[in-house]
């Protein structure tokens, strides 16, 4: 399962681009997308919404389940991916590319995030 080395990760299987290259795009990992099965609906925060790191900010539904999206950063939503709202399967097809969910203008403090190696070593992911 692909885990790009230029991204950062959370325990909840979100990825986020380097927060210093703000605004930073956010999505879910290939591991998460594969575990969910076919994504059929995404509910994203509105542009301008204030996000708290670790707090739920949206939902992803697959045929079988509903999962919350947790914000990896503190900050403000500056853009949402309209394309993924219309075509949720992009989350499965291209989780790190066209399947990105929203972009955040980060604010302090920047929480500690996992790098690719640390994410790959999470028990679920490493299995």
Partner 1 sequence: MLTSPLDDVHRGAHMTEFAGWSLPLRFGSELAEHTAVRQTAGLFDLSHMAQLEIRGPAAGQALDFALTGAHGAMPHGRASYSLMLEPDGGIVDDLIVYRLADAEYLVIANAANRQAVLERLTERLAQHEATVRDSTLERTLIAVQGPRSAEILAAAGLREVATGLRYYTAAPAQLDGVDVLVARTGYTGEDGFEISAPAGEASGIWAKLEQAGEPFGLVRAGLAARDTLRLEAAMPLYGHELTLNTTPWDAGLNRFVDLTKPDFVGKSALVSDDGTPHPRQRRLIGLAGSGRRAARAGYQVLTAADGEAIGEVTSGALSPTLGHPIALAYIDPGVESAPGTPLAVDIRGTHQRFTVAARPFYRRAT
User: Under the rule (CB under 8 A), what is the footprint of partner 1?
Assistant: 37-38, 40-41, 43, 59, 61, 63-64, 66, 88-89, 92
**Nearer to partner 1 (CB atom), residue 21 or residue 37:** 37
**Nearer to partner 1 (CB atom), residue 35 or residue 110:** 35
What minimum distance in Å lies between the beta carbon of 60 and partner 1?
12
- Which are the contacts of 39, defined by CB distance < 8 A and separation ≥ 6? 33, 60, 61, 62, 88, 89, 91, 92
What minimum distance in Å lies between the beta carbon of 61 and partner 1?
6
What minimum distance in Å lies between the beta carbon of 125 and partner 1?
15
What CA–CA distances, in Å, run from 46 to 13, 72, 101, 102, 103? 21, 16, 11, 9, 11
What is the number of residues in the chain? 127
């Amino acid at each position: 399962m692909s885990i790009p080395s230029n991204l950062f990760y959370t325990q909840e299987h979100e990825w986020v681009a380097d927060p210093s290259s703000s605004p930073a795009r956010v999505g879910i990992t290939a591991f998460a997308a594969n575990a969910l099965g076919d994504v059929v609906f995404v509910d994203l925060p509105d542009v301008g919404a204030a996000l708290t790191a670790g707090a739920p900010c949206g939902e992803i539904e697959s045929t079988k389940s509903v999962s919350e999206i947790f914000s990896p950063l503190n900050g403000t939503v500056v853009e949402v991916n309209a394309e993924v709202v219309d075509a949720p399967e992009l989350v499965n097809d291209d989780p790190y590319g066209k399947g990105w969910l929203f972009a955040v203008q980060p604010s302090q403090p920047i929480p500690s995030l996992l790098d690719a190696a640390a994410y790959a070593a999470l028990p679920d992911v490493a299995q």
